[in-house]
Amino acid sequence: MASNFVAKGADTYDSYMGRWSRKLAPLFIDFAGLADGERVLEIGCGTGSLTFALPARANIAAIEAIDYEAQFVEAARERNDDPRIKFEQGDACSLQYADGQFDRALSMLVLHFVPDADRAVAEMRRVVRPGGVAAATVWDNFGGQPGIRMFWDTLAAVEPQADSRRSAFLIRPTNRAHELARAFGKAGFADVTETALSIRMEFANFDDYWIPLLAGQGTHAAYLQSLPEATRQRIVTAVQSAYLAGQPDGPRSFVSVAWAARGTVPCT
Ligand SMILES: C[S@@+](CC[C@H](N)C(=O)[O-])C[C@H]1O[C@@H](n2cnc3c(N)ncnc32)[C@H](O)[C@@H]1O
């Protein structure tokens, strides 16, 4: 298996996560850097949240954007009208590019879904030229996402059988402090730096929070839908109570933190 991501269509992705990855993209570009004239590789582009933000920031020469999911590649192609951007299906662990072809390789919210993240980081290093830069970011699912953690903790309290699913969501390759930087160091990058990027996930009301979660990508949506109606109802009621916290339904805002690491390919 080359991807642990469960995809359920581009529109479903955008309402569940794309709306937040679009907010994260400019912060990630600030950290990763970008310059006019560069050839950029984006790994795990999904529906294009980062891809389409890149030409808005610099007059890039070309972007090759790959994703494992054909349905996302197709949706991104349909949205694209920039001849410098090419979307292709591809695997982060086995890039179809020759060594040193790119000035910059970027990957946003992907490596925690890749079964062999070390290999994916090594591939980023291989395809970036000496002196070029690679950067990646992943959500801090364990400690940096109170709004999503609220869902998992409530679910596991109401339905103890969900405990192992919560663990699988919270603890994934590269998603804890220093793991990304360690992977970059191991792959031979120089000048490795790590930081935390944060956005806020803003919801208009409980339905805006809950419906995309229920319909969304990921094994949790299929799991919820497989539960008996009465159990699911108890879960909805408990999660709603956590969302409302005794106040009328309406907007809520939760911080969401991502780890990010960047490194330079050594010149010798
Ligand atoms: C959470 S989405 C992030 C998508 C996009 N970068 C964004 O920020 O909206 C994770 C993406 O990683 C892709 N992915 C997972 N494993 C992959 C692999 N081995 N090679 C390429 N893409 C992969 C998935 O198909 C999915 O599009």
pLDDT 10s digits, 171-217: 998 999 999 999 999 999 999 999 999 999 999 999 999 998 887 66
- For residue 66, report the distance from its CA to the centre of ligand 1, in Å: 9
**Burial 183-201, CB ≥16 within 10 A → b, else e:** bbbebebeebebeebebeb
Does the structure show a pLDDT above 90 at 128? yes
What is the atom index within ligand 1 of the atom nearest the CA of 24? 8
Quickly count: other Cβ atoms within 10 Å of residue 39's Cβ: 18
Residues 6+ apart with CB under 8 A from 202: 251, 252, 253
Instruction: State the Rg of the chain over Cα.
Output: 19
21 in ligand 1 pocket by Cβ < 6 Å? yes
- For residue 7, report the distance from its CA to the centre of ligand 1, in Å: 9
Cα gap 113→172, rounded to integer Å: 8
Q: Specify whether the CB–CB gap between 94 and 84 falls below 8 A.
A: no
- Chain centroid, CA 110 distance in Å: 5
Cα gap 60→46, rounded to integer Å: 20
pTM higher than 0.85: yes
Tens digits of residue pLDDT in 53-65: 999 999 999 999 9
Does the structure show a pLDDT above 90 at 224? no
Residue with tokens 């959500």: 139
- For residue 230, report the distance from its CA to the centre of ligand 1, in Å: 34
113 in ligand 1 pocket by Cβ < 6 Å? yes
Q: Point out which residues pair with 39 in neighbouring strands.
A: 62
- For residue 38, report the distance from its CA to the centre of ligand 1, in Å: 22
What is the atom index within ligand 1 of the atom nearest the CA of 93? 19
Residues 6+ apart with CB under 8 A from 228: none
Measured by CA distance, the residue closest to atom 26 of ligand 1 is 46
Cα gap 92→124, rounded to integer Å: 8
Cα gap 106→31, rounded to integer Å: 11
Lowest mean pLDDT among 94-103, 121-130, 212-221: 212-221
> Residue 217: what pLDDT?
67
For ligand 1, mutation pick of 67, 114, 175 (most atoms within 8 Å of CB)? 67
Phi and psi dihedrals of 128, rounded to 5? -95, 140
Does the structure show a pLDDT above 60 at 1? no
Q: Specify whether the CB–CB gap between 63 and 40 falls below 8 A.
A: yes
Measured by CA distance, the residue closest to atom 13 of ligand 1 is 44
Q: Using the 8-state DSSP alphabet, how is residue 245 labeled?
A: T
Dihedral sign for Cα 209, 141, 56, 14, please. negative
Classify the phi-psi angles of 162: left when phi > 0, otherwise alpha if psi is within -120 to 50, otherwise beta: alpha
Residue with tokens 């993209």: 25
110 in ligand 1 pocket by Cβ < 6 Å? yes
